[in-house]
Structure 1
Amino acid sequence: MVPPLVIRTHAAGGDFGRLRAEFALPESFGPEVLAEAEQSVLDPLASAGGREDATDLPFVTIDPPGSKDLDQAMLIERTRRGFRVHYAIADLAAFVPPGGALDREARRRGQTLYLPDGNVPLHPPVLSEGAASLLPGEVRPAVLWTIDVDEGGELMDTRVRRALVRSTEQFDYETVQTALDAGRSHPSVAALPELGRVRRELAVRRGAVELQLPEQEISGDADGGWALARRPRTAVDAWNAEISLLTGMAAAQIMLDARVGVLRTLPPPEPDAVEWLRRSAHALGVAWPEGQPVSEFLSALDPGRPSSMALYADTTRLLRGAGYTSFDGERPGLATHAGIGGAYAHVTAPIRRLVDRFATEVCLAVTAGREVPSWTREALDEVPSKMSASDVLAARVERACIDQVEAWVLAERVGGEFTAVVLRAEETKAEILVEDPPVMAKCAGERFPEGERIGVRLTAVDVDKRKVLFERV
């Protein structure tokens, strides 16, 4: 396997305080919220009654390095018919009384926001990084999904119930990838590559659309500055995501069968958008056989080629209109997510995302043959709007943080020349991806060759406005 490309550029230390004030991000939790959180963790196993004891299962977690808010722990077994996935999800409902101060604050926030100098958490750290987190060696209340799939990755059976679990190891993506490449994977995830691959193949056949544009990442460095990196996803990233997607699709089916719940939805792309992408591929010289679905075409692209990067950027036009759809009593008009190729629900990140707690409660009640709790049903109407608003805020904050670090990195390099890939081109400007440092920006000029490398010159940097501007050389 080719190692992931990592380009790091360091900037002098900067303060994100102004950015936090600009977006009016909360600095802490109110005393009532903190008091309720502290009370809820006095005896973290107080709600253990009626839970299945699954502490003998050797769960492991896979998260970014240094993570403390651990939502998921997994164990994957090979069976005679295929695979069995044990997926333990943090049980926030065990700590958050409906209608209480914690619940009200979580509804106001919507989700955890991630900034380079510290998170703005959905729940107080005593929960999100402590009593509710699936930290290694600790017995924790969890919602345990046991999902059986066949040899081809198709869902066969799902069980979901409350349990007590104990994670045995905390891994990060690179550690797991390195171990797998060396042939010494942990037994709990030894089957992850095989299952991950068949689920990826199945996703392509479903019509799932995945964009493999390299992500920009920010991290602190030893000198007090910020490191800007471009890091494509590893295979373990993709396989790990498939386990979460599998669980979310199982949850969606449970809710659709019961005609009550909340889904993550995305309408199918308009035919004109697909035809526009086909013309872009032709203009870039990328062969797209007649009749080949979008998903198969994109899955065959080499993510490292400039033409592929341009096509991934163009494909975002196909993935517009994402939202949340709640329903109670009848099947919703839009019940699928075009980017995933099927019905899907958020249930695997309740520490970090509001909607997961409510969707999970629906699944627990339905599979146990009980009525969905009234507090859950009453919340279904408001959750979609709250999640959509928090998604918009999270995207704006993330983009602003990256723009700020890009400006800090480039502040002393005005007049310098760089190599960039043209992602999108218009008559007198283009969107480019500078390769080193890894910066996405606007570029002035004419006749841009979309999907090719060009030379550019940095003409201006405004640190306060978080703007950088290039021109074609």
Structure 2
Amino acid sequence: MPQRRSHVSTSAAQTELATALAVLREAAEASLGFQPGVLAEADSATAPQPTLDLRDLSFATLDPEGSRDLDQAFQLERTASGYTVRYAIADVPAFVVPDGAVDAEARRRGQTLYAADGRIPLHPPVLSEDRASLLAGVDRPALVWTFSLDPTGAVTGFRLERALIRSRAQLDYESTQRSLDRGEDGPASLLPEIGALRIEQERLRGGASLNLPDEEVVRAPDGTYAIERRSPLPVEEWNAQLSLMTGMAAASLMLDAGIGILRTMPEPDAEAFDTFRHQTEALGRSWTTGTYGEYLRGLDRRDPITLPVLEAAASLFRGAGYRVFDGAVPQDAVQAAIAAPYAHATAPLRRLVDRWTLTICLAVSNGEPVPGWVRDSLDELPALMQESSQRASRLNSATINTVEAALLTPLVGTTIEATVIALRGERATIQIAEPAVTATAPVPPGAKPGDVVRLRVTRADIAAGEVEFAL
């Protein structure tokens, strides 16, 4: 459930905010629309009919409420030897013509962007929200991963097949969590059990999850904007484990075949670990035993000091990138936080690189050659993804800063209370509870993370996305 949602209330601030957000979109070169040639190709795109028919299986999707670009659907079974997990992925490769107009535009965009006034999709909505999306109650081609798990949740075998499926239910996180808490039967009934086992497998591998609270701009039905700050629900973490399992399977297929693109992250060095240990000591939550993954899993999310600890731990989760190979298998193949080789393979409607991963994995699974267009364009992907990620980060950061300035505009000249999250020399990252704002401000000498300080709001510039405070 949302932890906090704060709305921009004054009409003048709303008007100025709307103008500022439009400017941000233009600066990010993020257009909602597509050129006529792209739309025409998307409108005429059809996928070949798969020979494997899995429509008798009760797949379901699980996403934020109201989502239309549904990349994944799952179907969970208990078996005599453990569990069967089927994870269906939208068959975007079947709809996109290599080197066609949709492909070229997707390469330019790189990923779906999330702006305050709506998503800026990677693919035209006729594909991303209709024909390729795993919507409930309609037949859809999909790339289906079938996993066999033993009673401990370890993978004992898997396969990838192109199939026709029909999702039976479109679930959302919050209502599904409530249903599971009540012990109700449904498509996700086994998800807590399997998710917990996969989290234990992550612990055994030495993996780690950060799970920082999300902060995003939302638009209310009345057109007002707000900042929503929320922590991931347990059902989101269990669901994420299915995606992680699939990404590790995809990586293993590509490594065995000697061609692919991995999502990698280096292990933090000794200096980063030492710095984090000192930070946990200063916060009164010393990391003294076990791996950093075990330490982070053991934090009490109700403890107000946990957020500063997680913010400090973010320094350990740096350096992620993409590693292309065709021939020799790379030495640096591991994603350190996952503690295994890993690939992006579960969000092809929203992320460009997944289409390449899935195409390679399907070819390998079928014993067929990897298509030439994949080999010819592999080397381009890291730069395309890095550029789109930077664009997404800039847009997200600027959007949040702009809305936060609008939230604080009525409070200029007043005094507020804020919690210190992290120190940055003589300044600190602070978190204000109401309105829900995270910002940088001066703090009194001797202040430490977790302390509550009183600050005066001296300036809020919506157009510039800037706020200033004084002691």
Quote the residue 1:97 is aligned against.
Answer: 97
The 8 Å contact of residues 306 and 453 in structure 1, kept in 2 or not, is answered as no
Return the alpha-carbon distance in structure 2 between the equivalents of residues 11 and 18 of structure 1.
Answer: 21
The 8 Å contact of residues 246 and 346 in structure 2, kept in 1 or not, is answered as yes
The 8 Å contact of residues 430 and 448 in structure 1, kept in 2 or not, is answered as no
The 8 Å contact of residues 192 and 239 in structure 1, kept in 2 or not, is answered as yes
Return the alpha-carbon distance in structure 1 between the equivalents of residues 419 and 82 of structure 2.
Answer: 43
Return the alpha-carbon distance in structure 2 between the equivalents of residues 57 and 404 of structure 1.
Answer: 46
Name the aligned partner's letter for residue 37 of structure 1.
Answer: A
Deviations 1:141-166 (CA, angstroms, capped at 9, x unpaired): 11011111222221111110111111
The 8 Å contact of residues 75 and 87 in structure 1, kept in 2 or not, is answered as yes
**1:317-466 aligned within 5 A:** 317-445=315-443, 446-466=445-465
Give 1:213 shift.
2.5
Q: Which of 291, 307, 310 is the equivalent residue of 1:309?
A: 307
**1:53-202 aligned within 5 A:** 53-186=53-186, 188-202=187-201
Name the aligned partner's letter for residue 48 of structure 2.
Answer: S
Secondary structure at the aligned position of 2:335 is classed as coil
Quote the residue 1:245 is aligned against.
Answer: 244
Deviations 1:30-84 (CA, angstroms, capped at 9, x unpaired): 11111111111xxx4x500x43111111111111111111111111111222221
Return the alpha-carbon distance in structure 2 between the equivalents of residues 250 and 129 of structure 1.
Answer: 27
Return the alpha-carbon distance in structure 1 between the equivalents of residues 52 and 173 of structure 2.
Answer: 29
Deviations 1:78-128 (CA, angstroms, capped at 9, x unpaired): 122222111111011111111111111111110010112121111001111
The 8 Å contact of residues 306 and 421 in structure 1, kept in 2 or not, is answered as no
The 8 Å contact of residues 11 and 227 in structure 1, kept in 2 or not, is answered as no
Q: Indicate whether 1:25 and 2:19 are aligned.
A: no
Q: How many residues align?
A: 463
The 8 Å contact of residues 5 and 226 in structure 2, kept in 1 or not, is answered as no
- Which structure 2 segments of 5+ residues have no match? none
The 8 Å contact of residues 71 and 348 in structure 1, kept in 2 or not, is answered as yes
The percentage of counterpart residues that share the same residue type is 44
Give 1:222 shift.
3.5
Return the alpha-carbon distance in structure 2 between the equivalents of residues 406 and 51 of structure 1.
Answer: 52
Give 1:369 shift.
1.1
The 8 Å contact of residues 176 and 185 in structure 1, kept in 2 or not, is answered as no
Return the alpha-carbon distance in structure 2 between the equivalents of residues 400 and 39 of structure 1.
Answer: 37
Secondary structure at the aligned position of 1:217 is classed as strand
Quote the residue 1:232 is aligned against.
Answer: 231
Deviations 1:180-238 (CA, angstroms, capped at 9, x unpaired): 0111131x211100011111122123222222322113222243211222111110111
Return the alpha-carbon distance in structure 1 between the equivalents of residues 25 and 433 of structure 2.
Answer: 28
Secondary structure at the aligned position of 2:429 is classed as strand
* 76-85 vs 247-256, which moves further: 76-85
Give 1:4 shift.
5.5
Give 1:5 shift.
2.6
Return the alpha-carbon distance in structure 1 between the equivalents of residues 328 and 163 of structure 2.
Answer: 31
Deviations 1:212-270 (CA, angstroms, capped at 9, x unpaired): 32211322224321122211111011111111111111111111111111111101101
Give 1:287 shift.
3.0
Deviations 1:309-337 (CA, angstroms, capped at 9, x unpaired): 11111111111111111111111121111
Return the alpha-carbon distance in structure 2 between the equivalents of residues 17 and 202 of structure 1.
Answer: 45
The 8 Å contact of residues 71 and 89 in structure 1, kept in 2 or not, is answered as yes
Return the alpha-carbon distance in structure 1 between the equivalents of residues 80 and 470 of structure 2.
Answer: 60
TM-score, normalised with respect to structure 1: 0.95
Q: Indicate whether 1:277 and 2:276 are aligned.
A: yes
Secondary structure at the aligned position of 2:340 is classed as coil
Secondary structure at the aligned position of 2:4 is classed as coil
Q: Indicate whether 1:287 and 2:286 are aligned.
A: yes
Q: Indicate whether 1:256 and 2:261 are aligned.
A: no
TM-score, normalised with respect to structure 2: 0.95
Name the aligned partner's letter for residue 337 of structure 2.
Answer: G
Name the aligned partner's letter for residue 390 of structure 2.
Answer: V
Secondary structure at the aligned position of 2:262 is classed as strand
Deviations 1:368-407 (CA, angstroms, capped at 9, x unpaired): 1111111111121111111111111111111111111111
Give 1:285 shift.
1.2
